[in-house]
Structure 1
Amino acid sequence: MDILNGYDIIIFDCDGVLLDSNKQKSDAFKITLKDYDNNYIEDFLDYHKNNGGISRYEKFKYFLSNILENKFEETTYKVMLKNFSKNCIELYTKVDMTEGSLKLLSSLSEKKCFIASGSDQEELIEVFKKRDLDKYFNGIFGSPTPKNEIIGNILENNIGKALMIGDSIQDYKAAFINNIDFLFVKKYSEQNEMLIKECEEKSIASVNTLLELVG
């Protein structure tokens, strides 16, 4: 756990970092949009995978306004959000944790740990309570608040050196905006090649799984 030495605050992304849920979340989007033409769905899934960490609120707006090129309809938008929420709660209840995540969380009692996710905050809190995982965190935060704002709020209310652990470009950008260090978890990322290149160019630390952080 040498990488974590010197940090007082550890901020985790959720999907692909704590939960092995990236693929299943893509499936949840696909199910939610099943009544649309497959070409539109595939375009959206490409957008979704290239923009991990951005909330569903922004992604569904993008689908309606940019991919369908329709006038934004509030009713359709709300139905999408409701259906996707139902699919996600089922997903989060069943999905496996990532390799080493539970062991790592159990070892971090002397640090302040938080979740800063693009997933819906109320869903995350509900699911983490059901899975008895909320006890490991000082706060669980998600959308609709943007991730960079979540991190900013955490830093404003907690004193100490902070590290963001994530698996997407958006996670990295949110850490950069808030002037804190970033650690890339590679194994479950849908942006693997993109972030590996970024990490190599900027000497950013990375691990394959969280198990490498457990002493």
Structure 2
Amino acid sequence: MKDLEKYEVILWDFDGVILDSMPTRELGFRKVLEEYPKEQVEELIQFHYKNGGWSRYVKFRYFFEEILGKEVTTDFISELCSKFSRIMLDLLSSKELLILDSLGYIQGNFSNQEMHIVSGSDQKELRLLCQQLDIHTYFSSINGSPTPKIELVKNLLQIIPFSRSEIVLIGDSRNDLEAAEINGIDFFGYNNWDLQKDNGYILSFS
């Protein structure tokens, strides 16, 4: 893909771009919150899909404070996130979930372009998953929550020895687009038709 090959650095979102994980993450939220009213959990699931780039820390807090109207402690949210992470590590380690279209580009170009992951997924879990999936060696760094994606990108830009015009972010959500725009780098949408309207968009890496 010539438009992409002009960049020196690619920042990749993970869920929905490298791994087909969104339905599994939905299942994780349902399992962790199975004791709560189904109607309210459905509200969270809708929020989850609309805000794919946001972390589980934000989503669980949104569920309790905005949907249920309850105050919760940081320790309680961390406990829920740990339970969620254990479920994800069990369910997402299958190579069958890898998106071969994007993975093919990564495998064919990681030696020519510097690649990083910037994800809303928990960083510790994300790094373990990438090792289990045997894809960790393709990336110069693997970065995740609880640090917000906008800050993950900002932090990388401070250490990457290339100008912002040589860096692009590829993602499947409006949150990814926002992280690119706020940090002044290019963006390509992928695997989300809503992003095709007014931005660069990748139909296929082949």
TM-score w.r.t. the length of structure 1 is: 0.88
TM-superposition CA deviations, 1:23-43 (whole Å, max 9, x none) = 111111111111111011001
Aligned to 1:6: 6
Aligned to 1:67: 67
SS in 2 for 1:159: coil
Is 1:3–1:213's contact at 8 Å kept on the other side of the alignment? no
SS in 1 for 2:71: coil
Once the two structures are TM-superposed, the CA of residue 74 in structure 1 deviates from its matched residue by 4.6
For structure 2, the 5+ residue unaligned runs are: none
Alpha-carbon distance in structure 2 between the residues aligned to 1:57 and 1:112:
29
Aligned to 1:157: 159
Aligned to 1:148: 150
Alpha-carbon distance in structure 1 between the residues aligned to 2:200 and 2:176:
14
Once the two structures are TM-superposed, the CA of residue 92 in structure 1 deviates from its matched residue by 2.1
Once the two structures are TM-superposed, the CA of residue 130 in structure 1 deviates from its matched residue by 1.8
Aligned to 2:98: 97
Name the amino acid aligned to 2:47.
Y
Alpha-carbon distance in structure 2 between the residues aligned to 1:213 and 1:58:
31
> 1:145–1:157: structure 2 CA closer, same or farther, 3 Å change rule?
same
Q: How high is the sequence identity, in percent, across the aligned residues?
A: 34
Name the amino acid aligned to 2:201.
S
* Larger CA deviation: 90-99 vs 134-143: 90-99
SS in 2 for 1:157: coil
Alpha-carbon distance in structure 1 between the residues aligned to 2:40 and 2:81:
18
Query: Given the alignment of the two structures, is residue 113 of structure 1 paired with residue 108 of structure 2, yes or no?
Result: no
Is 2:24–2:92's contact at 8 Å kept on the other side of the alignment? no
Aligned to 2:129: 127
For structure 1, the 5+ residue unaligned runs are: none
TM-superposition CA deviations, 1:22-68 (whole Å, max 9, x none) = 11111111111111110110011111111111111111111111111
Is 1:25–1:91's contact at 8 Å kept on the other side of the alignment? no
SS in 2 for 1:100: helix
Alpha-carbon distance in structure 1 between the residues aligned to 2:55 and 2:44:
14
Name the amino acid aligned to 1:213.
F
Once the two structures are TM-superposed, the CA of residue 77 in structure 1 deviates from its matched residue by 2.4
TM-superposition CA deviations, 1:111-151 (whole Å, max 9, x none) = 10000000000111111112211100000000011101111
Query: Given the alignment of the two structures, is residue 167 of structure 1 paired with residue 159 of structure 2, yes or no?
Result: no
Aligned to 1:207: 202
Aligned to 1:176: 181
Name the amino acid aligned to 1:51.
N
* Off by >2 Å, runs of 4+ in structure 1: 73-79
Aligned to 2:26: 26
TM-superposition CA deviations, 1:86-130 (whole Å, max 9, x none) = 111112202511131221111111110000000000111111112
SS in 2 for 1:213: coil
SS in 1 for 2:117: strand
SS in 1 for 2:144: strand
SS in 2 for 1:93: coil
Name the amino acid aligned to 1:13.
D
Alpha-carbon distance in structure 2 between the residues aligned to 1:96 and 1:125:
16
SS in 2 for 1:183: strand
SS in 2 for 1:125: helix
Name the amino acid aligned to 1:12.
W
